[in-house]
Amino acid sequence: MKQATPAAVDVAEFVARRSVGQSLEAPFYVSQEFFDLDIEAVFARHWLFVATDAELPEPGDYVTVAIGPYSIIVVRDDNEDVRAFHNVCRHRGARILGEERGTVGNIVCGYHQWTYGVDGKLLHAPSQAPDFAPSCFSLRSVHARTVAGLVYICLSQTPPEDFDEVAAQAEPYLAPHNLAKAKVAAQIDLVENGNWKLTMENNRECYHCGGHPELLCAYFPTYGYGEQNLPAVLRPTYERYLQADAAVRLTYDSLGLPYTLVEELDTRTTGFRIQREPLDGAGESYTSDGKAACKRLLADFPTARLGRLAFHTQPNAWFHLMADHAITFSAIPLGPDRTLVRTTWLVHADAVEGIDYDLDTLTKVWAATNEQDALFVARAQQGVSSPAYVPGPYAPSEEDVEAFANWYVTRLRAYLSDTERQR
Ligand code: FES
Ligand SMILES: [Fe+2]
């Protein structure tokens, strides 16, 4: 018997009827239609964190980034600026660079050897007609900019203009950690078996932090609760947090390090949140006792006890910056139920593995935490894929999950109304 073709998901209908205060309906997480919409409405129109300066230390160093059907080359040019281009040859469209990273003198298409400079200009196209104008065939550029060592790209020709304001607010917090001068100590790619929004939602709450025993050695799991909603079991931890917070604020003030929470997760096009706060234990880093994992600090700090600087940007990134190292996270959708989570550990460029830091100690907490999160995300994906799933309520401590969902739905609505207008 012939199987009925499943009806296409009416994305506009689901977006229009989304209820605030609860998780999204199943098609947002499981359908190809929403995956395609997310690529166009979110990932192709907003600023995405895709790499660090430290991954591109020299001119010609590049990474390629796959965003749905797009492939982007992010490369350091001869002026040491980071540039980005579509990885599509201007001759007959071949994918130019096939590797995830590497170093090039020029960018050469392997099909008919069209050769581009790292500034995207076409330098050489063999055997063309005499009237051929190479200047008309530069690589198509993609907006790229760095914020204190973090590389963002935007595929839209008219990127959200508020990114400058976000960068201006975040840079004073980020810059003291010197990430532009750091080096990559480790990078781990993990493919989570879940929709990218489940990855992000999971990141935006600590309601599930009981499932992270390694993390809780250093991390205060009171994130998102606030005084009123604190469960009794977290009360002693919260008291410890308050004491650590008072102590660390004195340090921040004496060093002139900004620490106040700025939270604009769903109130602007480039949603973000930034805050400096204490860590538990020795208060220095993400290790089993909270002590620094790297003896050589990222900057000339007089103490390693700086807690962490937490920075979140919508749609796809979060960061932890400590005195001794920093960790960056990006989430890139691979399919409706697959997401690449790339974690990068940065240390001072002169820190020496085996002398200043032990790689296992440096990466242990977050490598374990990521694996645990991947299981939570896979479990969530399995659940929302069941016909029995109905959206459930966000707890008060999940306010940043809700802010993420609010931001996301707002961005979809903006896209859908723009495309409607253009019809
Ligand atoms: S498609 Fe790239 S040189 Fe022909
Ligand atoms: Fe987690």
Contact 95 CB / ligand 1 (< 6 Å): no
Q: Which ligand is nearest to the CA of 223?
A: 2
Q: Whose CA is nearest to atom 4 of ligand 1?
A: 112
Other CB atoms within 10 Å distance of the CB of residue 279: 24
d(CA 69, CA 49): 18
The three-class DSSP label of residue 255 is: helix
Q: Which ligand is nearest to the CA of 110?
A: 1
Contact 50 CB / ligand 1 (< 6 Å): no
The per-residue pLDDT for 228 is 80
User: How much distance in Å is there from the Cα of 159 to the middle of ligand 1?
Assistant: 29
Contact 394 CB / ligand 1 (< 6 Å): no
Residue 1 has pLDDT above 80, yes or no: no
Residue 235 has pLDDT above 70, yes or no: yes
The superfamily CATH assigns to domain 1-30+163-423 is Naphthalene 1,2-dioxygenase Alpha Subunit; Chain A, domain 1 (3.90.380.10)
Distance of CA 207 to the CA centre of its chain: 21
Residue 404 has pLDDT above 70, yes or no: yes
Q: Which ligand is nearest to the CA of 380?
A: 2
Ranges of each domain in the chain:
1-30+163-423, 46-159
Q: Which ligand is nearest to the CA of 109?
A: 1
User: How much distance in Å is there from the Cα of 94 to the middle of ligand 1?
Assistant: 6
Confidence of residue 4 (pLDDT cuts 50, 70, 90): low
From 175-179, 239-243, 249-253, the region with the lowest mean pLDDT:
239-243
Contact 116 CB / ligand 1 (< 6 Å): no
Confidence of residue 230 (pLDDT cuts 50, 70, 90): confident
d(CA 229, CA 111): 61
Residue 281 has pLDDT above 60, yes or no: yes
Q: What percent of the chain has pLDDT over 70?
A: 99
Contact 108 CB / ligand 1 (< 6 Å): no
d(CA 311, CA 273): 6
Angle between helices 196-203 and 399-422 (to 10 degrees): 140
| Domain spanning 46-159, CATH class | mainly beta
The three-class DSSP label of residue 223 is: coil
User: How much distance in Å is there from the Cα of 200 to the middle of ligand 2?
Assistant: 10
Residue 170 vs residues 64, 148, 163, 224, 313: alpha-carbon distances, Å: 26, 9, 10, 20, 10
CB 404 within 8 A of CB 201: yes
Residue 268's H or E segment, with its range, is none
Q: Is the peptide bond before 315 cis (omega within 30 degrees of 0)?
A: yes
d(CA 278, CA 241): 7
For 286, residues 6+ apart whose C-beta sits below 8 A from its C-beta are 215, 218, 219, 279, 293, 308, 320, 322, 327, 365, 366
The per-residue pLDDT for 366 is 98
The per-residue pLDDT for 2 is 58
Residue 100 class from Cβ within 10 Å (0-12 exposed, 13-18 middle, 19+ buried)?
Answer: exposed
- Select from 91, 123, 124 the residue to mutate for testing ligand 1; criterion: most ligand atoms less than 8 Å from CB: 91
User: How much distance in Å is there from the Cα of 381 to the middle of ligand 2?
Assistant: 15
Contact 111 CB / ligand 1 (< 6 Å): yes
Contact 72 CB / ligand 1 (< 6 Å): no
Contact 92 CB / ligand 1 (< 6 Å): yes
E strands along 48-161, which residues?
48-52, 61-67, 70-76, 82-86, 101-103, 107-108, 115-116, 122-124, 141-147, 150-154
For 286-312, write each residue's pLDDT tens digit.
Answer: 999 999 999 999 999 999 999 999 999
Confidence of residue 390 (pLDDT cuts 50, 70, 90): very high
- Select from 73, 89, 90 the residue to mutate for testing ligand 1; criterion: most ligand atoms less than 8 Å from CB: 89
Q: Which atom of ligand 1 is nearest to the CA of 94?
A: 1
Q: What percent of the chain has pLDDT over 90?
A: 93
Contact 132 CB / ligand 1 (< 6 Å): no
Residue 3 has pLDDT above 70, yes or no: no
Q: Which ligand is nearest to the CA of 87?
A: 1
Of 390, 412, 207, 403, which Cα lies nearest the Cα of 314? 403
